Amino acid sequence: MRHYYDAIVIGTGISGLTCAIHLKKAGLDVIVMTKNSKINDCNTYYAQGGIVAARDGDSPHMLREDILNAGSSYNRMDAVEYLIQHGPGMVFDFLVNDVGIQFSTDEDGRIDYTEEAAHSIRRIVHFEDHTGDKIEDSLIEYARSIGVQFFVDYTAVDLITNNHHSRNTQELYKEREVMGLYAINNIRGEVETFFSMNIVLATGGIGNLYYHTTNPVSATGDGISMAHRAGAHIINAEFVQFHPTSLFHRDIKRFLISESLRGEGARIKDHDGTEFMSLYSEMGDLAPRDVVARAVFDRMAKTGKEYMLLDIAGYYNGSVPLEKRFSKIYSTCIKGGLDITKEPIPIVPAAHFFCGGIKVDIRGRTSLQNLYAVGETSCTGLHGANRLASTSLLEGMVWGRASADDIIAKKYRINPERFNSIPDWEKPQYTEEFDPLLIDQDMKAIQLTMWNYAGIIRTEKGLTRAEADLDYYSHRIMKFYKEAKLNKGIIELRNAVVSSSLIVAAALRNTSSVGCHYIEKKGNTLPGDHKA
């Protein structure tokens, strides 16, 4: 089946939906595709803390300083300027006024701004502690109400480019242009051909490449891997951000304990009750996320414990009862037999956010013609070497809009002849049904390799070992890919090994520790070492 659209957005988080909504409102024929069977199954849905928004007493200067401090000044300056000028106000103009989202308020009915690590002012709006699902479901409803069409259960296989796919040999000599994508209908198992001169990758992050993560299983680096295969530039891939506090629990996995708990007073402690964050940073529990994640990891190693503790019970002094302010965390922990109003929460660091990705400019344009990337799969350079809390939803929204504006302003002409020269997906002649257990096993091997050798504290030796292991998995997986009957699992596995290799290669190239890329070397000790 061959489809033709003005624009195709792949991914249903805040960046993809914001882009699609603006395109639709401008009259473009746009579709949004997701590999999942539930539209809201994406990282945005799981965001807890909130989103940076405009408030009296704040200023672009203060926000700029906080972003640069968190990012070790590795940030791209024009991206920082763009976000601080356009982002905080857009939360109200778009999310509140257009989409109709109501964020949490205090007893007097005023917006309740919360705090997270490394912010110099309380500037984060939230909906209790499930800001993400509130935003995600509201955006989906709004997009549907204006007629955005969703293609659910379609997994993108590869981008189509003139150079790679056209049967017209003259296209080989032209500048590379993305012209669409092949995507498999997960239910029917058939690959369909989608044409558009505006493809927007909004495919999310890479958390699921790691053994411990706060991300859903779908975060397998699909966009990064597809863009890389098509020839787009990937940058800053060594900067994987680990969240210091994910729940450590036998039965509850991938569950974030929001940084806003620390913003509301919670303290990180050792098993004997010692607060140790001041050994690692004078900002203590509210130091930037890379510093806190490393400190928790280091303390776990030094004390031989599998987890540390986060205590909110004795420190919370908010006006809204704790059970309501953190309703999702409270109810999830209660289900696991833990009452956060009475006892400390066992926590471990976990892969959380990818600060690197597909290189884009201020308008979300990648290095390939007609290809845009927005949200976590992209690298605007905003976050530098480490992201400031509650700026990821903001970045997704701002660049979702910016890329839509660029597409709307673009004068393009569809030339059916060029599309006619692109063949449909060619099925290999012989394919085998593979046991899903094999795919699962290979994914676990990748996750352990990445966690052990390309995680919070890295060494050159470990990264070299990861490179060799991934090389080996890669050969096996590519063989699989050629011989197996194509399905979502195989596609994700192939994308996972490509994205992991990109991260490891970048980590080996950058031999200096900066932000969330930390290389342990002789004589290079963590700040807490001499006192711990």
Sheet-wide strand order for 178-185: 2-4, 191-195, 178-185, 154-161
Q: Residue 472: which residues within 8 A CB-CB, separation 6 or more?
A: none
Can you give the length of the chain in residues? 532
258 vs 332, beta carbon nearer ligand SIN: 258
- Cβ distance 293 to 456 under 8 Å? yes
- Indicate the residue type of 87: G
Residue 289 catalytic?
A: yes
Tokens 């189509």, residue located: 160
260 vs 370, beta carbon nearer ligand SIN: 260
390 vs 500, beta carbon nearer ligand SIN: 390
Q: Residue 441: which residues within 8 A CB-CB, separation 6 or more?
A: none
130 vs 165, beta carbon nearer ligand SIN: 130
CA distance 486 to 183: 11
8 vs 261, beta carbon nearer ligand SIN: 261
510 phi and psi, to 5 degrees?
-90, 100
Residues making contact with ligand SIN (CB under 6 A): 48-49, 256, 258-260, 353, 389-390, 392
CA dihedral 404, 410, 416, 418 (to 10 degrees): -100
Which of 349, 287, 350, 275 shows the shortest CA–CA distance to 311? 275
Q: Residue 400: which residues within 8 A CB-CB, separation 6 or more?
A: 14, 15, 16, 17, 18, 19, 22, 202, 364, 374, 375
12 vs 260, beta carbon nearer ligand SIN: 260
Catalytic residue among 267, 289, 387, 494: 289
Min dist. Cβ of residue 343 to ligand SIN (A) = 20
CA distance 451 to 175: 39
Min dist. Cβ of residue 392 to ligand SIN (A) = 5
Min dist. Cβ of residue 289 to ligand SIN (A) = 8
- H/E stretch holding 445 reads helix 436-453
- Indicate the residue type of 450: M
Min dist. Cβ of residue 192 to ligand SIN (A) = 35
State the residue number with the nearest CB to ligand SIN: 49
Min dist. Cβ of residue 201 to ligand SIN (A) = 21
Three state DSSP letters for 117-176: CCCCCCCEECCCCCHHHHHHHHHHHHHHHCCCEEEECEEEEEEEEHHHHCCCHHHHHCCC
Task: Please give the sequence-ordered ranges of beta strands (E in DSSP) within 209-324, or none if there are none.
Answer: 234-235, 240-247, 267-269, 308-311
Angle between helices 488-509 and 460-483 (to 10 degrees): 150
Which of 367, 20, 47 shows the shortest CA–CA distance to 216? 47
**Per-state percent for the chain, helix, strand, coil, to nearest 5:** 40, 20, 40
Dihedral over Cα of 42, 43, 49, 50: its sign: negative
Min dist. Cβ of residue 123 to ligand SIN (A) = 13
Task: Please give the sequence-ordered ranges of beta strands (E in DSSP) within 18-143, or none if there are none.
Answer: 30-34, 51-52, 124-125
258 vs 403, beta carbon nearer ligand SIN: 258
Query: Known catalytic residues?
Result: 289
